[in-house]
Structure 1
Amino acid sequence: MPDTLYDVAILGSGPGGLQAAIHASRKKAKVLMLGRIDNSSLFWAHVENYCCQIMISGEEILKTGRMQAESFGAEFRDEDVLAIEPDGKLFSIKLESGDMIKAKAIILATGSSRNKLKVPGEKDLLGKGVSYCVDCDAGFYRNEVVAVAGCRSAAAGGAVALTNFASEVHLYCKELDIAKGLREQLDTTGVIVREGIQITEIKGKNAVESVLLDDGSTQSVAGVFIELGAKGVLELTAMLGVQLDENMKYIEADKKQQTNVTGVYAAGDICGPPLQMAKAVGEGCVAGIEAATYAKKLELD
């Protein structure tokens, strides 16, 4: 598939991203929304504190929002982003299917939560071999044996990336749920896929030394990368140079939801508390309008 150019690409399928898609599309921008709605924390929630709604399921809100955005012309691809980088005045985005797309503007609306493995040793060894960001920490594990935990694109893509540094990469997951192209990359890069086996404990005194697996075996490793879901705020901002707050947790954006990088906007939980749908929708509205306006005015060489 050749590169396809969009005015606005939105990463994340939660309420902030959906509202951005609705408003950007209504301004006649060519919009692509990326991600799976069941990755949104709202998908599993029941909402009782949103204006004009007594009680409604998050799943219903998200599905309705998608239909609204589609009615205005927004396109959707239910897959995650593996890489994103500046490309002149544009941005190049690599999808888990292997396809590449380009966009004039980006809206980051992926949420802020970092899913935990919730096993003994994870918390105690954080920063001592336990990491939630392959793009940030892969370089520390040159010629080492490492483990990756996760079943989705972030884990598979991270495992592939780690083969450029580590001597051996083990990917542990209950059942892989990734695109065919990404599975082919796992096979060709030599990642040891341990499907059906999961990490139950991370062991080590002052640093990670091994992982205990649910089949009773132990694997010696120097690092454990926990990648449960899609690319998070740390990975995406590291690729783009987007400024985070002093705690390296949330994206800094102005009142137009513009980040420090021209053409990159952010909305929703990724911008910090309160982590509420009402805030995400409001910021998504602003980000969608501003990103579409910027993209429509951008002159390409």
Structure 2
Amino acid sequence: PSAFRQFEATDQTHNRDLALRAVVFGGEALDAPSVRRWTNRHGCTTPRLINMYGITETTVHVTTNEIDEHQLNNSATRIGRALPDLRLRITDQHGSPAPIGVIGELCISGAGLARGYDARPALTAERFVPDHLGRTPGARLYRSGDLARWTADGELEYLGRADAQVKIRGYRIELGEIEAQLAQVGLREAVVLPHQEANGRTDLVAYLVPEPGTAPPTTSELRDTLAGHLPDYMIPRNFVHLDALPLTSQGKLDRRSLPAPTTERPALETEFTPPLPGTEEALATIWADILGVDR
């Protein structure tokens, strides 16, 4: 997907005919906006667009899914069905199968599964666990650490990494779910991260890259859109607009290079009114200290 975004931008600039039969995505989670920009020009069938989910421990691909227009309108990334030599299971925190539509950890078993990690028995035991529901004696199940859920038609939707789940003020939050909703509001890219303020308070920050040549959505528009799909505690406190997301030399997101948000109150499209001297000013100072903002 990172390489495709660059390829898509070049194709948009040159607007040329392509002699491609298929584009196969792998290695990263696929973002709908870049694909939608492509399909607006080329459609979904010429060339075919195929998303393959895979991990090294299953040598290498696990699922395959051919993308159509309907999927691009959904917030989650559909990764399709298992390859013939593998079996998939979505498990809850106790290792039991999760019902359709319920988020859980994606686990894989079957002939493509690796034997384990070289000279790392503890890690092997942690990730390659016994498959108690398997039909083969001694079968093992690989815990991928990825979150997914079954759809009603028997396919999988990818929802990000389990270790990307954060806990803020007692609430468990899936960052990928917020990013998926932001991708629906006309942004080129969106990344959400937790950020700890100087006073120890942790809040969510959204880093946004607008579509070229378009004005970025206002903070109020972003909040209103997210409020229609997410609970209050999953709405970022800060929205940082960037020209482009920083990338590593491998073309993946460089999270360490993202700028820290300012301590200014997020823009609200209303003029700031300073507090009156006396009690109002004293109360405003107390709240500014608690919330970790300048005013």
TM-score range (shorter-chain normalised) is under 0.3
Taking structure 1 as the reference length, what is the TM-score of the superposition? 0.25
- Relative contact order (C-alpha < 8 Å, sep 6+): which is higher? 1
Structure richer in helix, relative to its length: 1
